[in-house]
Structure 1
Amino acid sequence: MKNFFSTIVIIAVLVGGFIYLKKGSSSETTAADDLAQRDTTAEVQTKDIEFVVTVAGEITPAEQVSVRPEVNGLISELPVDVGDQVKKNDLLFALDDKNIRIEIEQKQTQIDAAKLQLEKVRRIFENNRKLFEDNLVAKEEYENSQTDYSLAQNNIERAQKDLDLAMERLEKTQILAPFDCTILTRPVSSGQAVSGSGGFNSGTEVLTIADLTRMIINAHVNQADVSRLSAGLKVDIQVEAIPGLVVQGQVERIAPQATILNGIKGFAARILLTEIDPRIQPGMTANIKIPVQSAAEVVAVPLGAVFTEYNETLKKQERYVYVQQQERFQRRLIQIGVADYFFAEILSGLNPGEVVSLEMPPQEAIDELAGEAGLASNQS
């Protein structure tokens, strides 16, 4: 029985090994076929290269305000609705001012009465002062009249301040547009009670207004790309909700400190739309293409053809290509200029029409390095 199980195990191992070898042979054949079908060389060509940084952001008005009253009250007038366009100093809404006007009348009456009282005690004080100078009235009576006169003056000042405050509150019942704007939201209705902003109370939001003639995009630029950006740089903006629409914009400013968004460290950038299409609305998503570097009609190769190696003598990184020469490859020193995600501009070392390898050739197929002496002498 023991020999029987041993025989079964041996057969299983042999069969498994055969299947594994067959599958391995098939995988190697497939990999070889894929390698044979893949391009391993590329021709040096002349083309335009443009390095573009692409970021996404949300379109928002450059100036947007949440309108809240400064005093408590009932909304008596609300002549605007969502979508309305309003001019600067037009009425946005008004609060019922009946109680404040009654208070103002009462304060004015108090001031008038206080003025009469002031005039009365002033005459008494002036009279007692003359009598006191002639020793015809006691010092205590003179000082009492002087105190009454000072109190009457203070009463008028206090009443005037109360009146001024009531007048200010009356002015705050009329809320006017601070600039030409469009009504974005109106969460309340006429007749509704609202609270004023002040202290720890933010107040009731009655309207949200914005200037839709100036729109911006707040974008987040990866820290690897931000060094290539600067204020004033022109950009192309594609609005996702409007297929085919491309408008112009400009980098307005870049934050001086990095932030982390969705786990990626970068810098906040404010993009101003210098061209406004009436179909663009706040909240739409936009893709911003920022052309950082460009070169027209230059000698170029795919990035896959460029190899980098550290030169111990010159103490710097140098770039090479492997130029095909029949069945062999010549390693040649190059200098590159503008590069995008696919191609690099060749400043020296190659000519259009030459063929370069896209992968490292076998060591035995590589000829000695060419071009190093010339470049080194130019840099010295």
Structure 2
Amino acid sequence: IATVKVVPEMIDLNSSESRVNVAEINLDRIQAEYERQKLLFEKGVIAREEMDQSEADYKKALEELENAKDNYDIVRTGMSSKTAQYSNTQIRSTITGMILDVPVKVGNSVIQSNTFNEGTTIAVVADMNDMIFIGDLDETEVGRVHTGMPIKLSIGALEDYTFDAELEYISPKGKEESGAILFEIKAAAVIPDSVKIRAGYSANAEIVLARVEDTICVPENSIEFSGDSTFVYVLKSEKESKQDFEKRSIQIGLSDGIKVEVRKGLALGEKVRGNEIFDKK
């Protein structure tokens, strides 16, 4: 995604350079001692154990010098000869996806994340094949939904399409907005390959709480409510401009706010005052 040029801190640079110098001095001393011990061992003056100890000290000094040089290179350039392929100067994405935003420009200063700050965001990458709908649900409705429920998504920019989704997350804590308590929900959307979706689209979700098919339903405004009873006015006869209606008790079921399911009391083909009965919901 990007290449970062390391600008070393002078304190760290001086410290790492001093470590290299100390390691070289220490190596020279131990190497001289190793050479003397080697000659003495060849003449049979010292035991094998002393020779092995001297050789181990020499190898440790060599390793310390190499580590000091690598540390100096990392502080100065951001990479070392041993770990060039893992250099932190090359910024790579951890996922396969599309770059959505590059908030920095060439020449901007960036810092790495640590305990005290989040670091600099160099790019925002997203997998556009794994779309998530994020929305808010009112507290009066949150108790009626659960994860795994099917959702219908409608996107304002794509008026001719609706998309299936599955509810995956319901926030355990509500937040107050404009005097209402809302709970965040997330749903995994199923987007066909033929449709191009952009991140950040506004969308509305319709959660299906219950469903009935192949049932008689009537417009909700044609129903008369009286206590626990519901009635409609059914057309009995029609002569010229005069219509005769019969008040009939019905048993209703599900409602979507526009049409209401009629479970009992009406037959397919009958007409009620106001609108014709729909044969399907």
Distance 1:211 1:163, change over 3 A: farther
Distance 1:178 1:237, change over 3 A: same
1:218 CA displacement: 0.8
Task: Specify the code of the residue in structure 1 equivalent to 2:98.
Answer: T
Deviation by residue 1:304-350 (Cα, 9 ceiling, x = unmatched)? 636464xxxxxxxxx313466989857x5x654322213433444x2
Matches within 5 A, 1:14-25: none
Structure ID, larger Rg: 1
1:23 matched residue in structure 2: none
1:252 matched residue in structure 2: 168
- 2-structure distance, mates of 1:356, 1:328: 10
Counterpart secondary structure, 2:112: coil
2:152 matched residue in structure 1: 236
Of 206, 211, 218, which residue of structure 2 is paired with 1:289? 206
Of 227, 230, 236, which residue of structure 2 is paired with 1:321? 230
Moved more, 212-221 or 271-280: 271-280
2:139 matched residue in structure 1: 223
2:30 matched residue in structure 1: 118
Residue ranges of structure 1 left out of the alignment (5+ in a row): 1-91, 132-145, 310-318, 358-380
- 2-structure distance, mates of 1:308, 1:120: 108
Task: Specify the code of the residue in structure 1 equivalent to 2:197.
Answer: I
Is the CA contact (8 Å cut-off) linking 2:252 and 2:260 kept in structure 1? yes
- 2-structure distance, mates of 1:281, 1:108: 53
Task: Specify the code of the residue in structure 1 equivalent to 2:5.
Answer: D
Distance 1:230 1:214, change over 3 A: same
Task: Specify the code of the residue in structure 2 equivalent to 1:200.
Answer: F
- 2-structure distance, mates of 1:260, 1:97: 45
Of 97, 106, 110, which residue of structure 2 is paired with 1:190? 106
Deviation by residue 1:184-234 (Cα, 9 ceiling, x = unmatched)? 223433344333333434433332322222221210012222333332333
Residue ranges of structure 2 left out of the alignment (5+ in a row): 46-52, 80-86, 235-243, 275-281
TM superposition score normalised by structure 1: 0.48
Task: Specify the code of the residue in structure 1 equivalent to 2:266.
Answer: N
1:339 aligns with 2:255: yes
Is the CA contact (8 Å cut-off) linking 1:237 and 1:248 kept in structure 2? yes
Task: Specify the code of the residue in structure 2 equivalent to 1:95.
Answer: V
- 2-structure distance, mates of 1:219, 1:238: 12
Instruction: Give the % identical residues.
Output: 20
- 2-structure distance, mates of 1:93, 1:272: 31
1:351 matched residue in structure 2: 266
Distance 1:212 1:301, change over 3 A: closer
Matches within 5 A, 1:84-163: 92-96=1-5, 111=23, 113-121=25-33, 162=68
Is the CA contact (8 Å cut-off) linking 1:249 and 1:271 kept in structure 2? yes
Is the CA contact (8 Å cut-off) linking 1:236 and 1:290 kept in structure 2? yes
1:298 matched residue in structure 2: 215
- 2-structure distance, mates of 1:324, 1:243: 37
1:275 CA displacement: 0.9
Is the CA contact (8 Å cut-off) linking 2:245 and 2:273 kept in structure 1? no
TM superposition score normalised by structure 2: 0.62
Is the CA contact (8 Å cut-off) linking 1:118 and 1:153 kept in structure 2? no
1:24 matched residue in structure 2: none
Deviation by residue 1:151-172 (Cα, 9 ceiling, x = unmatched)? 9999778766655655494221
Higher fraction of strand: 1
Of 183, 194, 197, which residue of structure 2 is paired with 1:280? 197
Counterpart secondary structure, 2:27: helix
Matches within 5 A, 1:37-52: none
Distance 1:295 1:306, change over 3 A: farther
1:295 CA displacement: 1.1
Distance 1:93 1:155, change over 3 A: same
- 2-structure distance, mates of 1:248, 1:298: 23
Distance 1:243 1:320, change over 3 A: closer
Distance 1:212 1:112, change over 3 A: farther
Higher RCO by CA contacts (8 Å cutoff, separation 6 or greater): 1
- 1-structure distance, mates of 2:224, 2:63: 85
Deviation by residue 1:333-372 (Cα, 9 ceiling, x = unmatched)? x654322213433444x23248699xxxxxxxxxxxxxxx
Is the CA contact (8 Å cut-off) linking 2:153 and 2:164 kept in structure 1? yes
- 1-structure distance, mates of 2:22, 2:67: 12
| Pairwise CA RMSD | 4.6
Is the CA contact (8 Å cut-off) linking 2:129 and 2:191 kept in structure 1? no
Higher fraction of helix: 1
